[in-house]
Structure 1
Amino acid sequence: MTGTVMPGANVDRRWFKRFGRTGPAETRLFCFHFAGGNASLFRRWPQALPWYIEPVAVQLPGRADRFTEEPYERMAPLVDDLIEVMKPLLDRPFALYGVSMGARVSWALAHGLRERGLPGPRALFVAASVAPACDDCQWEWDGREDGLEGYVREMGGTPAEVLEQPELLAGLLPTLRADLTVLSTHGFRPESPLAVPVHAFAGTEDPEAHPERMRDWSKETSGRFSLTPIPGGHFFDEEGQEQVLRVITDELT
């Protein structure tokens, strides 16, 4: 998927979901979902965060209300288009939060903003994603005998009603495959690390992005790095989500 996106009200509604939050806030928090996921992951965040932090969930093409749109398969055009639609929203301080694939998208986005001389984030929050330094490692979905469907079942996070209905699962897999292609083909090697604080959240039982693999995110910043282990696996439960929200609130207060 390529092409220039012209900002506007309709574009804003397609890309950004606010889930009822109204009124000004001091800091915007752009939230990026995991591979195969969608912006509804952050539906309760507007009520869980204080008034001065406005969560803005990013909805990528190929899912939910953008199901008919072609998903991205490469990071560079995704970042290019994200920057175009985000420009009107860079008028106040902001931070980036990404889960799994979303962590890598937000990291690439932060570099893209810096390269263009645009405002950068106050902080980068990354969850459930191996650090870019681990890109030389084999991706967890490569070479599986049970294919992409087996990877989906093992990682969890996909509703049981989707896994139990072949037609729903078949509808999910193409978008998931495109999302994972974005990750596996992204060979970006920045000349210098970001100069913003990076905070990582790692599931203690996550087979893909456990705390030791996420500790290498410290190499991606010349600023402060911190890591919070979250009990559980790749997808955080409600208690884990609350812990993430508390840390973000503390960091942005």
Structure 2
Amino acid sequence: MLLDGKTILITAAGQGIGAASARACAQAGARVIATDVNADLLAGLRDDRNIETRQLDVTDAGAIGALAADLPDLDGLFNCAGVVHHGSVLDLTDDDWAFALDLNVTAMVRMCRAFVPGLLRQADKTGSAAILNMSSMASSVKGFPNRTAYGATKAAVIGLTKAIAADFVTRNLRCNALCPGTVDTPSLRGRIAAAADPVQAERDFIARQPMGRLANVDDLTPTVVHLLSDGSRFVTGQAVLVDGGVTI
């Protein structure tokens, strides 16, 4: 199996892309440490013998450090946690901006700072380790209306990814960014429900996808598994688009 014998940590694994990725990595043979700030959301993963669940707030540097000290060295890290702020720069308060930056970017810095030493030790032993950071097609790749904080912070994720990749390319530690299109997740459903006209909001999200549908989480998980596996051992520093053709 693609991830046989590997230990993979995933943040925001309680639902959506994170939960689907945890299951897919476990099915591919990995031991998965699935984390989420909401411990209750992790309940659905606990029946899988290859998945261990841990509560983790990725905005808490102390909690991250304690978890890193308690776990074996990782083979892979998927930084999946994030938040979508809706609005233009005129709608963006300082608190909104600070929260988006902290969760979408600084949390990844904290996670990498804590876990890269162990990833490097594993890379020295096995010849391969990987980090995958959640970015978006709404980033330096493409701009979207009402996504100022989200687009800016997801662009920063791509820059962070390339910097980490460049720093450790000679040490067999790869770092890539995943850039999805519009994915049907609980987060998206929440944004649709909060719209003035939810039916039209859903139509608008679908309309921007040339394939004529939203992505589902299983459209993304094969790429997640690939980028965490040795099958992508010559791929690093890339913003990998899985967007249904939006950015053709």
TM range (shorter): 0.3 to 0.5
What is the TM-score with the length of structure 1 in the denominator? 0.42
Structure with higher helix content: 2
What is the TM-score with the length of structure 2 in the denominator? 0.43
